[in-house]
Chains A and B, each alone.
Chain A
Amino acid sequence: MADFLLAAAGFVLATVALGLVRILRGPSEADRIMAAQLLGSGGIAALLLLAEAMSVPAAVDVALTLALLAAFVSVAFVKGFARSGADGA
């Protein structure tokens, strides 16, 4: 079970890392924010799987923190992009 969960965490991470290509290519900055968001939820999933696979229950707390901070950072990105893009400076 632990090996399977570890493998699942690796798989989720690998697929989400593919999404990072979007950060590289993303014609618009919204694409980049989206890829970071995907990495966030993938990271949360990987952390939850690792918590069970490695028997480190504190990793669930890390996932909780990450969920909050990911929302916070995404809002900051959108506001930052909107603010600088909107006034064109």
Chain B
Amino acid sequence: MSFALDALTILAVSTGAFFFLAGTVGLLRFPDALSRLHALTKADNLGLGLVVLGLLLQAEGSFAALKLIGVWLLTLLAGATVTQLIARTARPGGTHE
């Protein structure tokens, strides 16, 4: 049982790390700011989400698991809204807020 959990953790964390790599490659290679922003959100959401999923399988106790999910949700919320704000500054027309 524990071997299966370990294997799943390794799988989830590896996939999450891959998404971080994809996000960075996108950030470096995409032509303009808005598409780079798109790559950034993939790393935030999927990368961190999969890492958290993998670590959840290893977590001891429900409070620890809740904290892990809480960190992911907080990053998700912050990332989603901040990328909106960044997109406004990156837009050719500038900000109007």
Contacts and interface: CB of A to CB of B under 8 A. Distances in A.
A48 B87 CA distance: 28
Nearest to A34: B40
Contact of A35 (B14, B27, B77): B27
A30 B27 CA distance: 12
Contacts of A74: 78, 82, 85-86
Contacts of B27: 19, 22, 34-35, 38
From DSSP, what is the main secondary structure of chain B's interface residues? helix
Interface in B1-47: 6, 9-10, 13-14, 16-17, 20-21, 23-24, 27-28, 33, 36-37, 40, 43-44, 47
Interface of B: 6, 9-10, 13-14, 16-17, 20-21, 23-24, 27-28, 33, 36-37, 40, 43-44, 47-48, 51-52, 55, 58, 64, 67-68, 70-71, 74-75, 77-79, 81-83, 85-86, 88-90, 94-95, 97
29 contacts: A8-B17, A11-B21, A15-B21, A16-B20, A18-B28, A21-B28, A22-B28, A28-B90, A30-B33, A33-B89, A34-B40, A37-B86, A38-B40, A38-B43, A38-B44, A41-B43, A41-B47, A41-B79, A42-B20, A45-B16, A45-B48, A45-B51, A48-B51, A48-B71, A52-B58, A71-B77, A71-B78, A78-B86, A78-B88
Interface of A: 1, 4-5, 8, 11-12, 15-16, 18-19, 21-22, 28-31, 33-35, 37-38, 41-42, 44-45, 48-49, 52, 57, 60-61, 63-64, 67-68, 70-71, 74-75, 78, 81-82, 85-86
